Amino acid sequence: MFSFFKEEKPGDVKGIRNALLQFIKEQLQKAEGGEGSNIRGIAIYITCQEEDRHAYEAAVFADEPDRFKVEEVQRIADDFAIALPATWSLEILFAEPPKDALKVPNADASIAIASGKKPLIYKEATGYLRVLNGEAEKEVYTLQSVKGKVNIGRERKVQTIDGFYRENQIAFPDKSSNESNRSISRQHAHIEWDPECAAFCLFADEGGIPPMNKMKVRKADGEIIKVHAVEIGHQLQEGDQIMLGESAVLEFTYRALEN
């Protein structure tokens, strides 16, 4: 019988978690004809109201990295003989979903599944950096996946050792009285969107590696990551704090920030 009443969304943590897991299970069973070996990753986009955010964060164990992946999604895959590869990834983003993401019924969320046939690429992903310590040209910077590399360093336009010029889109003025600016290199770091892992990645540049300088990231769970190799980037996650030099700090988020 047709119902004239709109089904209400779950309001508690358990109900939200069950709605997400039920939909993920259905989509995994459909993907690759029920064979999960070609699935590379799953992205969950959460678009809830701010007052509901704490419930969604609890539902996906936002404070415990990989718990939702290992204890919930992987368990479902095992129970239903969906052979996910050992390298599959899970991304949980509090952000607007791409156009091809699938809406989760009765929940403020969507999911996208990447496979060998369908890369997990978010062409319209947006992130934000807030300056917590140090003095940059702006307090908040917007990162967009379609804009390419974003350089970070001291001064807007600088000449490199090989004689070429580099523009720092995130620039800390050399003439600032802020002591934190002094330990930032002119070629300190850059951020790029990586379509393979569907994340903004932070890389050290030549001026941001020892012995000239240093860079590290403190994750939301307190873990400290040293970013000291120019070839190896760090996938930025919600709440990551980036320390440039001795004390300049940027905070990364997918949530829109006011300038």
pTM above 0.75, yes or no: no
Cα–Cα distance, 228 to 111 (Å, whole number): 34
Pairing between β-strand 170-172 and β-strand 150-154 as defined by DSSP bridges: parallel
The per-residue pLDDT string of the chain (259 residues; one tens digit each, 9 = 90 and over) reads: 333 334 456 568 999 999 999 999 998 887 755 556 678 888 899 999 989 999 999 999 998 878 999 999 999 989 988 888 888 888 888 888 877 789 999 899 999 887 765 544 455 688 999 999 999 999 999 999 878 899 999 999 998 777 789 999 999 998 999 999 988 999 999 999 987 777 899 999 887 777 767 889 999 888 898 887 777 788 898 999 999 988 999 999 988 766 5
Task: Go through 150-167 and write b for each residue having 16 or more CB atoms within 10 A of its CB, e for each that does not.
Answer: bbbbbbbebeeeeeeebe
Each residue of 73-121: pLDDT tens digit? 999 989 988 888 888 888 888 888 877 789 999 899 999 887 765 544 4
**Is domain 126-253 given the CATH code 2.60.200.20 in the classification?**
yes
Query: What's the token pair of residue 182?
Result: 């002094």
Query: What's the token pair of residue 180?
Result: 């934190």
DSSP 14: H
Q: Is 211 exposed, middle or buried (0-12, 13-18, 19+ CB in 10 A)?
A: exposed
Each residue of 244-256: pLDDT tens digit? 988 999 999 988 7
DSSP 122: -
Contact 181, 188 (CB under 8 A): no
Using CA atoms in the order 91, 97, 100, 106, what is the torsion angle rounded to 10 degrees? Answer: 90
